[in-house]
Homo-oligomer: A and B are copies of this chain.
Amino acid sequence: MPVRVAVNGFGTIGKRVADAVSKQPDMVLVGVAKTRPSFEARIASEREYPLFVGGEGRVEDFRAAGIAVEGTTDELFRRADVIVDATPDTVGREQVPKYDAAHLRAIFQGGEKPDVAEVSFSALANYEAARGKNRVRVVSCNTTGIVRAASVLRARYGIEQWDATLIRRAADPAETRKGPVNAILPNFQFPSHHAPDAQTIFPDLAITTTAVVVPTTLMHIHVNHVRLRKPPASTADVIAAFQETPRFQIFRSWERVEGTPQVIEYARDHSSPRGDMMANVLWENGIHLDGAELHFFQAIHQESIVVPENIDAIRAMFHLAPDAASSVAVTDMALGLRK
């Protein structure tokens, strides 16, 4: 019997997780919750996702807009085995008593602090740790990007030290109230929260992260400098290691992918839903190994990169796959993330 999944919040992450759940062979989407009518609610309705009113929302507002709803989140929670919490940052924590009261298992996003859950999760890194758990937290987009790459490098070469500069997009494409319009804004917290967040997955990872915000909406870029313990012979070995790992996309020089806009253009051309790019994006000519010193860029699509991780988290919690590789394979096939 498929696991019954509810999604609380139908914004950037929630709507993508809902779509992803609906494509999995071993899960069923029992509904999504939204607080206010909007074009996104209309989309949920057109996709025939059972729609429920959450938060401070009012059923009447949906009815006035002609959007059918099946009730409030109380009803939604009754129909589910697990809730994927995709409410805004820090709101997830406030939902915990409700989820508990409904005897629901729950997945939280990286905007919540780690102690909201039993374990922080990234599929390539610690799938086993989420097995059978009741509450799992999928780490944030930037942390997911780091941890995936660390999964590749750590197992093969050992990581002596990782220093990453995160050049963060200022807002998601449709977040029109956030700025800045013309600025570079350093994050004066050092290390930024991403380093300790990565250590919730790899506690022994020696890592520092520094972040700045820049006025773009498409993707983050990470500038990575990693000192390897047992470096391979050449850059080509590193490229091969990334290439053989799921959820990495490596562009070659002749593809003329100059930066984040061409990555997204590729995803749009590739018929990826919403033009999403769920893989870590690397560039063949943006990877340089010099002795033990590895420098590489990666681009991270903040809107979608955690979506497959949410799916794998469900599979781990409910023992739906024998191991990480199997779960990842099923997820990626369902989502069209073929290499």
* Minimum CB–CB distance for A303 against chain B, Å: 9
The answer to whether A32 has its CB under 8 Å from any CB of chain B is no
* Minimum CB–CB distance for A12 against chain B, Å: 9
Cβ-defined contact, A274 with B273, below 8 A? no
Q: Please report which residues of chain A, range 191-209, place their CB below 8 angstroms from some CB of chain B when the two chains form the complex.
A: 208
* A271-B269 CB under 8 A given contacts A38-B254, A180-B261, A261-B182: no
Q: Provide the bound-state CA to CA distance between A65 and B181, in Å.
A: 29
Cβ-defined contact, B167 with A176, below 8 A? no
Q: Provide the bound-state CA to CA distance between A5 and B264, in Å.
A: 28
Closest to A177 in B: B179
Q: Provide the bound-state CA to CA distance between A273 and B286, in Å.
A: 30
Query: Top 5 closest A-B pairs, CB basis?
Result: A185-B259, A176-B180, A268-B274, A214-B214, A174-B265
Cβ-defined contact, A283 with B186, below 8 A? yes
Which of A78-86, A116-124, A218-226, A312-320 binds B? A218-226
Which of A21-29, A39-47, A97-105 binds B? A39-47
* Minimum CB–CB distance for A114 against chain B, Å: 23
Interface residues of A (CB under 8 A from B): 15, 36-40, 42-43, 46, 61, 64-65, 163, 165, 167, 169-171, 173-186, 188, 190, 208, 210, 212-221, 223, 225, 251-252, 254-262, 264-266, 268-271, 273-275, 283, 285-286, 288, 295, 297, 299
Q: Which residues of B contact A216 (CB under 8 A)?
A: 181-184, 214-215
Number of this chain's copies in the complex:
4
Cβ-defined contact, A171 with B176, below 8 A? no
A295: contacting residue among B170, B208, B256, B271, CB under 8 A: B208
Q: Provide the bound-state CA to CA distance between A121 and B219, in Å.
A: 38
A179: contacting residue among B170, B212, B256, B285, CB under 8 A: B170
* Minimum CB–CB distance for A92 against chain B, Å: 22
Cβ-defined contact, B179 with A219, below 8 A? no
- Interface of chain A: mostly helix, strand, loop or mixed: mixed
A170, A178, A223 interface centre (most CB from chain B within 10 Å):
A223
Q: Which residues of B contact A259 (CB under 8 A)?
A: 176, 180, 183-186, 213
A182: contacting residue among B46, B64, B218, B251, CB under 8 A: B218
Closest to A171 in B: B181
Cβ-defined contact, A212 with B171, below 8 A? no
Q: Provide the bound-state CA to CA distance between A182 and B181, in Å.
A: 8
* A39-B218 CB under 8 A given contacts A167-B167, A223-B165, A260-B183: no
Q: Which residues of B contact A37 (CB under 8 A)?
A: 254-255
Q: Which residues of B contact A167 (CB under 8 A)?
A: 167, 184, 212, 214
Cβ-defined contact, A256 with B181, below 8 A? no
* A261-B212 CB under 8 A given contacts A165-B165, A181-B182, A182-B217: no
Cβ-defined contact, A173 with B264, below 8 A? yes
Q: Provide the bound-state CA to CA distance between A283 and B89, in Å.
A: 28
* Minimum CB–CB distance for A274 against chain B, Å: 4
* Minimum CB–CB distance for A268 against chain B, Å: 4
